[in-house]
Amino acid sequence: MRASRVSASYGAKVAIAEDGRFGGTCVNVGCIPKKLFSYAAHFREDFDLARAYGWTVGEAGFDWRTLVRNKDREIARLNGVYERVLANAGVTVHRARATVTGPNEVEVGGKKISARHILVATGSWPTLPVLDGIEHAITSNEAFSLERLPRRALVVGGGYIALEFASIFHGLGVETMLTYRGKRLLRGFDAEIGERIAEEMSAKGVTICFGCEPAALRKKGALEIEFTDGRIEKTDLVMFATGRRPNTAKLGLEHAGVKLAADGAVIVDRFSASSVPSIHAVGDVTNRVNLTPVATAEAMWLARTLFRGERTPVDHDNVPTAVFSNPNVATVGLSEERARERFAAVDIYKASFRALKLTMSEHKERTFMKLVVDRASQRVVGAHMVGADAGEIIQGVAIAVKLGATKAQFDATIGIHPTAAEEFVTMRDKAP
């Protein structure tokens, strides 16, 4: 979408092939519906909190079908917006699956189209492990349109999609278990963030099982999941969020000479060029940094390189990201562990507190913030947070980190009082 529109605005003659719904994973079965569901799930605590503020709240009820119906309506509206954007940009749209038939040729719906440049932006798809009874499990794709909400759910995985859905199910009143084969959630994030989010989610009532690897699923009325250690859990829904694979199967890329990685990802250079000079790839299909704003940025950098004569490499440094679990997590830059590998010495600053909004209630949730500073240059090289609105807060901090701000410059910034965010500019004591 983005590559088509921006390339057309630079004067390129563009055609796009899409065999699904416009907007891709993010709009249809990713970021957008996920965030809507996450809002829905957070209301449960809000109703509870409101009582501490003097509100009389009647018995709250939740209707899953209403949520799904309203979500579907909003997504259909967005699909329409995207389609109109393409038409207005003068992009020719082919509503069919495309295959690459040569370095400069694509087949779409039985028609051969030649082009000077071909861009592969086919995204990724969830994978399921090979297990007995795996046909009884779902992935995030199906979770967005379940007929009914289960009474119990078991989510397998320790990455952001698993945490988000465990929080969604739990918030909507489902008895939820999260099982992960590793020892710490959110691999690749700062280790302390993984530990804190596990503590907070557990405290809210999500049962988390570490070192738990499913061995088989059985349907005996309810679902029965057996783990490798022999332990058996009964549940009503099993969702696997254990990985995604780039969409390159039967795309014809190998025949055109495009080199693929072992996981199927298109191998590209810093300019998103594949091993065939006329074929480029951006987004999840390259399995670099699998996030929507990264995919769209890669698309814009490529359009600039190809059609505006400005060779623009990708820039994957300091990409901020959030996990819309409850509580939220957000991060930018290096984890403490990565910073210790990269720099001779690092200073760590931390804050942990109960947010003002919760202080009149029984809610025990603690907000956690952490800054990672390179001792030699005093640059803030990482900022991490677990707590309400973490994504909204880290987005602003990310600008400072991207610009190379020092700890002294953070300290010289006046806080906005009273907010949680102000803690990022008032951390004075180094962690021992």
Ligand X SMILES: Cc1cc2nc3c(=O)[nH]c(=O)nc-3n(C[C@H](O)[C@H](O)[C@H](O)COP(=O)(O)OP(=O)(O)OC[C@H]3O[C@@H](n4cnc5c(N)ncnc54)[C@H](O)[C@@H]3O)c2cc1C
Write down the least CB distance from residue 125 to ligand X, Å.
8
Query: Would you give the DSSP letter of residue 423?
Result: G
Nearer of residues 290 and 395 to ligand X, judged by Cβ:
290
Measured CA to CA, the distance from residue 75 to residue 21 in angstroms comes to 10
Write down the least CB distance from residue 322 to ligand X, Å.
7
Nearer of residues 90 and 109 to ligand X, judged by Cβ:
109
DSSP letter for each residue of 204-223:
HT-EEEET--EEEEEEESEE
Nearer of residues 250 and 417 to ligand X, judged by Cβ:
250
Q: Tell me if residue 417 is catalytic.
A: yes
Nearer of residues 34 and 204 to ligand X, judged by Cβ:
34
Catalytic residue among 136, 280, 384, 417: 417
Nearer of residues 266 and 358 to ligand X, judged by Cβ:
266
Nearer of residues 90 and 293 to ligand X, judged by Cβ:
293
Q: Which residues would be at the binding site for ligand X (CB under 6 A)?
A: 17-20, 24-26, 30-31, 34, 97-98, 121-123, 140, 161, 247, 251, 283-285, 290-293, 295
Distance, C-alpha 389 to centroid of its chain: 15
Q: Known catalytic residues?
A: 417
